[in-house]
């Protein structure tokens, strides 16, 4: 829905006061053309804004949306592919979609909310929509700093019971701060009154065992954030190779080095920012200005204790997604000793990826860049969850293994300072 909001102010059905319905992909399985959160608006006259699948289910979604506007109630539709009926409406790619359809009346507060906030189109925005019978929506202008327990809008959306708000904070805040889109279900508090949440009845073979069970509060969360930052410290061959690799992953990349003659080389001109400053001083100033968040990656490639130690001491005090430092195992041991002597807690050092990167046998700067970016991707994705569950990754982090860093060192010295 976030992608459609900037267009609503100029979409004729919305500005002319027609009833509309919003259809949103809230669940996927297998291969699907569009991700969760993709939305399509349908007017009461059948006009369309947006697309859910590139054509293969749009007709059926329009029909369902028109029916929802006629009866006034939300609905959940499922679409998949059936080999028995290949000509039926469905996904020929073999995937499955769950589409939530919500009618929006002429006086709909949600439609007014979507239209007014879409005109601003800030770089950071989140939308929390209630999909069960309660309905309603909340726009979050600063997802990174959003605090569920302190939001009166969220309390109005889900109810102000402390247990509900606490559960909402635990689930919503990581999604908002990570720029993610997901479906969230909150169990209603004990003793909730009928009408605050929808109530459904389950039937038992024994009528005396029938009970009324409250339906969970169902929220759909979409969060959009500016590109995450990667701060590369060290204007050298490895920094030059890591810079474009990080940009391919969507990072906003800053190259920082205290030495002007190195930082101003033309090979670093492609960085989003090139900074000439002492690394720790620059990191401290960015953190104080609020330009560092929990998605930020810091890669220390300087391999010089006078830069590395104060920089790592600063970085390990911050809430960052990744802190990695280049160096040999001997350099790593010396670095750890220096950080401990400087007062860095031992538990903070557990977050330090040193030696940096995955154990790929990387040698050249380009290979090392692949090793570093692979470790960052693994740490934020499914590989981290698999490792937590006891799964042994095919290529572990260098910090978690022992022995030589490189499998092929014929052309390197025995103690290569960069690796």
Per-residue pLDDT in tens (0 to 9) along the chain, 419 residues: 888 888 888 899 888 888 999 999 998 887 777 888 999 999 999 999 998 876 668 888 899 999 999 988 888 988 876 545 444 455 555 678 889 999 987 777 888 888 877 666 667 889 999 998 768 899 998 898 899 999 999 999 998 889 999 999 999 998 998 888 999 999 876 655 433 433 333 344 455 544 555 678 999 999 988 889 999 999 999 999 999 999 999 999 999 999 999 999 999 999 999 999 999 999 999 999 989 988 899 999 998 999 999 999 999 999 999 999 999 888 889 999 999 999 999 999 999 998 999 988 889 999 999 999 999 998 875 444 444 444 455 566 767 666 665 554 333 333 444 44
Rounded-to-integer distance, Cα 148 and Cα 46, Å: 37
Q: Are 14 and 20 in contact (CB under 8 A)?
A: yes
Number of domains observed in the structure of the chain: 3
How many residues does this entry show for the chain?
A: 419
Give whole-number Cα distances, 362 to 326, 379, 398, 399, 409, in Å.
12, 18, 11, 14, 10
Q: Are residues 73 and 191 in the same domain?
A: no
> What SS3 state is found at 45?
coil
Q: Are residues 35 and 69 in the same domain?
A: yes
Sequence-separated (6 or more) residues with CB below 8 Å from residue 99: 23, 24, 25, 26, 52, 57, 61, 64, 76, 77, 78, 79
Domain region containing 300: 229-400
197 and 54 within one domain: no
Using the 8-state DSSP alphabet, how is residue 257 labeled? E
- Asked if 262 and 380 sit in the same domain, the reply is yes
Same domain, 395 and 346: yes
In a domain, 408, yes or no: no
Residue 415, in any domain of the structure: no
Task: Tell if the pTM clears 0.75, that is, is over it.
Answer: no
Q: Considering only CA atoms, which of 64, 47, 55 is closest in space to residue 93?
A: 55
Asked if residue 301 is part of any domain, the answer here is yes
Question: Whose structure tokens read 């022995």?
Answer: 403
Question: Does some domain include residue 414?
Answer: no
196/244 same-domain check: no
Rg of the chain on CA atoms, in Å: 26
For the chain, helix, strand, coil in percent to 5 are: 35, 20, 40
- If you search the block for the tokens 């969970």, which residue do you land on? 216
Give yes or no: residues 221 and 233 share one domain: no
Among candidate residues 179, 197, 226, the one where a domain is terminated: 226
Neighbours of 176 (CB within 10 A): 26
- Neighbouring CB atoms inside 10 A of 80's CB total 16
User: What tokens were used for 419?
Assistant: 């690796």
Nearest residue to 47 via CA among 24, 60, 66: 66
User: In sequence order, what DSSP letters do the residues of 146-209 get, joined into one string?
Assistant: --GGG-HHHHHHH---HHHHHHHHHHHHHHHHHT-EEEEEEPPPTTPPBTTB-EEEE--SSGGG
Residues 100 and 177 in one domain: no
My answer on whether 150 and 38 are in the same domain is no
Are residues 95 and 130 both part of a single domain?
no
In a shared domain, residues 185 and 253: no
**Structural domain includes residue 407:** no
In a domain, 409, yes or no: no
In a domain, 410, yes or no: no
Spatial contact of 359 and 375, defined as CB atoms under 8 Å apart: no
Looking at the fold, whether 234 and 295 belong to one and the same domain comes out as yes
Backbone angles phi, psi at 75, to 5 degrees: -150, 160
Note whether residue 209 is domain-resident: yes
């Amino acid at each position: 829905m976030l992608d459609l909001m900037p267009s609503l102010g100029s979409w004729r059905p919305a500005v002319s006061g027609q009833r509309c319905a919003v259809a949103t992909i809230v669940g996927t399985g297998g291969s699907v053309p569009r991700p969760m959160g993709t939305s399509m608006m349908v007017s009461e006259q059948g006009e369309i804004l947006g697309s859910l699948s590139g054509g293969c289910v749009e007709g059926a979604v329009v029909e369902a949306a028109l029916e929802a506007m006629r009866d006034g109630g939300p609905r959940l539709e499922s679409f998949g592919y059936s080999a028995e009926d290949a000509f039926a409406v469905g996904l020929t790619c073999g995937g499955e979609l769950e589409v939530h359809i919500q009618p929006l009346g002429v006086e709909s507060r949600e439609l007014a909310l979507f239209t007014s906030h879409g005109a601003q189109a800030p770089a950071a925005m989140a939308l929390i929509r209630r999909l069960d019978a309660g309905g309603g929506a909340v726009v979050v202008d600063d997802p990174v700093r959003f605090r569920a327990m302190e939001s009166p809008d969220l309390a109005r959306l889900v109810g102000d019971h402390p247990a509900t708000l606490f559960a909402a904070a635990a689930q919503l805040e990581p999604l908002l701060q990570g720029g993610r889109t997901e479906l969230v279900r909150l169990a209603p508090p004990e003793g909730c009154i009928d009408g605050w949440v929808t109530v459904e009845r389950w039937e038992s073979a024994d009528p005396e065992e029938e009970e009324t069970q409250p339906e969970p509060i169902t929220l759909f969360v979409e969060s959009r954030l500016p590109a995450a930052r990667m701060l590369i410290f060290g204007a050298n061959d490895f920094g030059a190779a890591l810079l474009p690799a990080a940009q391919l992953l969507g990072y906003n990349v800053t190259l920082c080095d205290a030495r002007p003659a190195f930082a101003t080389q033309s090979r670093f001109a492609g960085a989003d920012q090139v900074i000439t400053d002492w690394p720790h001083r620059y990191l401290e100033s960015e953190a104080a200005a609020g330009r560092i968040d929990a998605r930020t990656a810091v890669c220390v490639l300087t391999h010089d204790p006078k830069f590395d130690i104060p920089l790592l001491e600063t970085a390990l005090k911050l809430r960052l997604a990744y802190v990695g430092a280049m160096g040999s195992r001997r350099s790593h041991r010396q670095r750890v000793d220096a950080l401990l002597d400087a007062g860095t807690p031992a538990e903070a050092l557990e977050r330090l990826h040193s030696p940096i990167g995955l154990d790929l046998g990387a040698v050249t700067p380009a290979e090392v860049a692949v090793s570093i970016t692979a470790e960052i991707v693994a740490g934020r994705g499914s590989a981290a969850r698999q490792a937590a569950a006891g799964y042994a990754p095919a290529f572990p982090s260098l910090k978690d293994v022992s022995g030589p860093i490189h499998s092929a060192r014929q052309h390197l010295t025995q103690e290569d300072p960069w690796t």
